[in-house]
Amino acid sequence: MAEDLVLDTAIRDWVLIPLSVVMVLIGILRYFVSKLMRTSQSPDAKIIKEGQIVIRARNLRAAANFIPLKSFRARKTYFSNEEDGLLHVPQGQAQNPQAQMLSDPNMAMDMMKKNLSMIIPQTLTFAWVNFFFSGFVAAKIPFPLTQRFRSMLQNGIDLSTVDVSYVSSRSWYFLNLFGLRGLFSLILGEENATDDTQRMMQMSGFGFDPSKSLSAEKDSLDIVQHEWVLPKFEKRAEAVLRKLLH
Amino acid sequence: MVGAAEEAQLNRLENQVDNGGGGDWEYLCLVRKLKVRRSDKVLKHGLSILNDPKRRSKLGGEVWTLYEQVAVAAMDCQRIDVAKDCVKVLRKQFTESLRVGELEAMLLEAKGSWEDAEKAYSNLLEDNPLDQVIHKRRVAMAKAQGNISVAIEWLNNYLETFMADHDAWRELAEIYVSLQMYKQAAFCYEELILCQPTVPLYHLAYADVLYTLGGLENLQAAKKYYASTIDLTGGKNTRALYGICLCSVAIGQLAKGRGKEDKEGSELQSLAATALEKDYKKRASNKLPLLTATLRNLKLQSS
């Protein structure tokens, strides 16, 4: 019975293609709008310092065996001292991201701008698609699919008898929304592609806590065993010289 | 640091450009990428591009980078007039730019009007307290004026925040060595070794500092670091070989003074001495008697 459904070419010309074109155009427009609204974030001194501390502590951990024990001990105390060590985060002072956001309105503002540039066009286009194209079967994909895909491909058509390889217009909109990333990275350049899925991930991962990395670094520094490797180097140097001389 | 292959390419390009073989833009790009200091060449070739309107327009947006590069090179060569023109052009294009502000301050610095430059840098820092370049320029300025203590203070301030910047640590170490503040220098070199544990030059410099500090413990450590330098350079570092010899002698003297025998009777020092002799025979045979005399004085001569 799937063969019975014939799609009008007018649907292709007036639904399928316009929808895709509009989605692409909106994506590009959104890219430029968000570029306009983006403020250059001036980095916070504290965050930079914490990053640098972590790098230095990591270096210390990685190359600990290359410096004498005394020097290592001094540095270890400097980093992980319980009172005022650099890696020590006092209890309760660990900023939680919510509080940080409240204290820094810029941050909230930035997020809102990002979200606005994402949500507003999406709602508008969704309303537009819903209003004009609801209920269309807009395309047919050239291979059969299982029933599971029905909710993905036939959003807006509540008929269980239609073959799953037909795509409704609303589903076409969703497919475009999430599937155009490759095209955007072609048009706008590799890293500029507006990627909704990635942005959503960023939002959920928002509130990365630098003090956590500090205390993690402290823990791993605490368990480092110092074993000076330099004494071994004398033997190795001997071997090198012997080889050189023979 | 510039790798051997990159340096070869740079020299080849430089040769080609000097002999009028073209490719000057590529040469300038490479100089910029490798951050080498060839100011005279950059000034000469960069200026010839900038003075040619046709080539200038061909570069498009890159032309501003070239202006910046030539401006800095001109300052280095004390062609203040050229630098001034370049900075003026840049300022016209980028009215609010921080980078051009830095160039203007550097221009003041090149002229030697330290107070104005200092003022300019302070102004820039007020807007961007975290700009590394400005911090470093201030250190360089203090050093240029001979205010070593001020330079140390700035550097320490800078390292307070940017403590993973090994170039700054290296600068600080060298300043401390020049002031004979060896303990502080040793700390800086330890930091450098931590940062890049496989760079033999840091091991060598650290060993030098330890040897200079003296004392049995430091001497033994110094010997070990000379040994690691030898290991890392494959025995090709003459200074490290000498270091081994001197350390062994010094350790021997100290141990004898305390009535203890040197238990680490390793043959490292005699090996080092032999390696030195071999090296001198091969590369500077006329200096060989000098070396044998020195080694005899140290009672280290092999055979």
A contacts of B271 (beta carbons < 8 Å)? 238, 241-242, 245
Asked whether residue B26 is assigned to any structural domain, the reply reads yes
Q: What is the pLDDT of residue B202?
A: 94
Is A87's pLDDT higher than 90? no
pLDDT band at A205 (very low <50, low <70, confident <90, very high): very low
Q: How many domains does chain B have?
A: 2
A233: nearest CB among B163, B165, B227: B227
Q: What is the pLDDT of residue B302?
A: 44
| pTM score over 0.80 | no
Asked whether residue B79 is assigned to any structural domain, the reply reads yes
Its sign, for the CA torsion A201, A205, A206, A210, is negative
Asked whether residue A196 is assigned to any structural domain, the reply reads yes
Q: What is the pLDDT of residue B261?
A: 53
Is A192's pLDDT higher than 60? no
**Phi and psi at residue B22, in whole multiples of 5°?**
80, -175
- Residue whose tokens read 């007039």: B81
CB contact under 8 A, A67 and B193: yes
ipTM: 0.77
Closest chain B residue by Cα to residue A44? B130
Radius of gyration of chain B (CA): 25
Residue A166 and residue A142: Cα distance in Å, rounded? 9
User: B interface mutation test: which of A41, A73, A241 has the most B CBs within 10 A?
Assistant: A241
Q: How many domains does chain A have?
A: 1
Asked whether residue B27 is assigned to any structural domain, the reply reads yes
CB contact under 8 A, A233 and B193: no
Asked whether residue B83 is assigned to any structural domain, the reply reads yes
Asked whether residue B216 is assigned to any structural domain, the reply reads no
CA B151 and chain centroid, separation: 16
CB contact under 8 A, A42 and B272: no
Asked whether residue B65 is assigned to any structural domain, the reply reads yes
Lowest mean pLDDT among A41-45, A79-83, B118-122, B223-227: A41-45
B77-126: pLDDT as tens digits: 999 999 999 999 999 988 888 889 999 999 999 988 899 999 999 998 88
Domain C-terminal end among B56, B73, B96 = B96
Asked whether residue A34 is assigned to any structural domain, the reply reads yes
A167: DSSP letter: E
B contacts of A243 (beta carbons < 8 Å)? 235
Is B22's pLDDT higher than 80? no
**Phi and psi at residue A166, in whole multiples of 5°?**
-85, 140
Residue B284 and residue B290: Cα distance in Å, rounded? 11
In sequence order, the 6+-apart residues with CB closer than 8 A to the CB of B50 are B56, B63, B66, B67, B70, B86
Is A54's pLDDT higher than 80? yes
A106-133: pLDDT as tens digits: 767 777 777 777 788 788 888 988 888 8
Asked whether residue B119 is assigned to any structural domain, the reply reads no
Asked whether residue A4 is assigned to any structural domain, the reply reads no
A contacts of B264 (beta carbons < 8 Å)? 234
Q: What is the pLDDT of residue B303?
A: 39
Q: What is the pLDDT of residue B259?
A: 58
- Give the domain extent around A192: 9-245
**Phi and psi at residue B293, in whole multiples of 5°?**
-65, -45
Domain C-terminal end among B96, B123, B154 = B96
Q: What is the pLDDT of residue A84?
A: 76
For chain B, give percent helix, strand, coil, nearest 5. 80, 0, 20
Asked whether residue A1 is assigned to any structural domain, the reply reads no
Domain C-terminal end among B75, B96, B117 = B96
Asked whether residue B288 is assigned to any structural domain, the reply reads yes
- Give the domain extent around B249: 223-254+268-302
